[in-house]
Amino acid sequence: MELLLLEPVFKQMIWGGSRLKDDFGYDIPGDNTGECWAISAHPHGDCTLKNTEYKGKTLSWLWENHRELFGNVQGDRFPLLIKIIDAKADLSIQVHPDDAYAAEHENGSLGKMECWYILDAKEGGTIVIGHNAKNHEEVEEMIRGKRWKEFIREIPVKKGDFFQINPGCVHAIKGGTLILETQQNSDITYRVYDYDRLQDGKPRALHVQQSIDVIKAPFEPAVAEHEKLDVEGAEAEKLVSCPCYTVCKATVNGTAEFDWNQPFVDISVLDGEGSFDGTPVKKGTHLIVPACYGKMKAEGKNLMMIYSYITQK
């Protein structure tokens, strides 16, 4: 049984930058690269295997043909998608639907529940989480009246912060922010507002009615857990556990032992370097621990990782 190392897929965006190259050493397609799809089996960005007998195969192929590697979990698609997002400029003000709305209106897609671990943020930086409307009627009034300053809830952000973002929550990453995003395997985003900026001489499409349909009001912030975990040789904590995923953070200085008892585990190494059971890893390595792997010995210096798995029903 081997760890499954993945080759990321990169996306150029109007708001992207070069930090995926500068900070992580990735070979990016250009200096406006906004997203690294690090662990993904989505049709819009399907990662390939870097090792094992399945080298060169896509993650979606592996899911379809070797479900035993994922604990024979049920489902027609790999459930999670892990990204690193480099926001050189502000992303649009947006919202995601839940599973029921997406299934009905987006050709059977999953909705999108997601969370952000802040890898870096500029001094005095902010993000958008939530809105200030008292009810759904006021949501529609503020959006159609373009009362953006009144509507948007902007909060300060710093390196190491963590946010859970449920479907129906208005949100936006602001310029100067670098994040790791764990989310459902979905690419459905409704733009509420995009600052009237142009792409190729034209405004980007907005999704005003869909946004009004799915925004929840009044806004209620999701609560992160930050529960300490007992992992021998590591500082570890559970950041959140929701119906779609559980996300944890661990830092290893020396040697630690992880006992995996999940169908599979996604791991992103976000700082330092070292090894997992002798397999070299460093900042920017992404991998999946397959089913029945058991214990894993991690060795490293300042080896910081975010790992996630599906929450068992």
Question: For the purposes of burial, counting CB atoms within 10 Å of the CB of 141, is it exposed (0-12), middle (13-18) or buried (19 or more)?
Answer: middle
pLDDT score of 89: 97
Q: What is the mean pLDDT of residues 145-160?
A: 97
* Contact by Cβ (8 Å): 246, 311: yes
pLDDT score of 1: 83
pLDDT score of 36: 98
pLDDT score of 313: 63
State the Cα–Cα distance between residues 261 and 295, nearest whole angstrom.
Answer: 9
End-to-end, the C-alpha distance of the chain in Å comes to: 26
For 298-310, the pLDDT digits (tens) are: 999 999 999 999 9
For 48-87, the pLDDT digits (tens) are: 999 999 999 999 999 999 999 999 999 999 999 999 999 9
pLDDT score of 200: 86
For 266-275, the pLDDT digits (tens) are: 999 999 999 9
For 193-245, the pLDDT digits (tens) are: 999 998 888 989 999 999 999 999 999 999 888 899 999 999 999 999 999 99
Report whether the peptide linkage leading into residue 218 is cis, meaning its omega lies within 30 degrees of zero. yes
For 15-34, the pLDDT digits (tens) are: 999 999 999 999 999 999 99
For 153-167, the pLDDT digits (tens) are: 999 999 999 999 999
Active site residues: 191
Least confident piece of the model among 114-118, 180-184, 225-229: 225-229
State the Cα–Cα distance between residues 214 and 207, nearest whole angstrom.
Answer: 11
pLDDT at 312 over 80: no
Q: What is the mean pLDDT of residues 120-144?
A: 98
State the Cα–Cα distance between residues 89 and 176, nearest whole angstrom.
Answer: 7
- The mean pLDDT value of the chain amounts to 96
With a pLDDT cut of 70, the percent of the chain lying above it is: 100
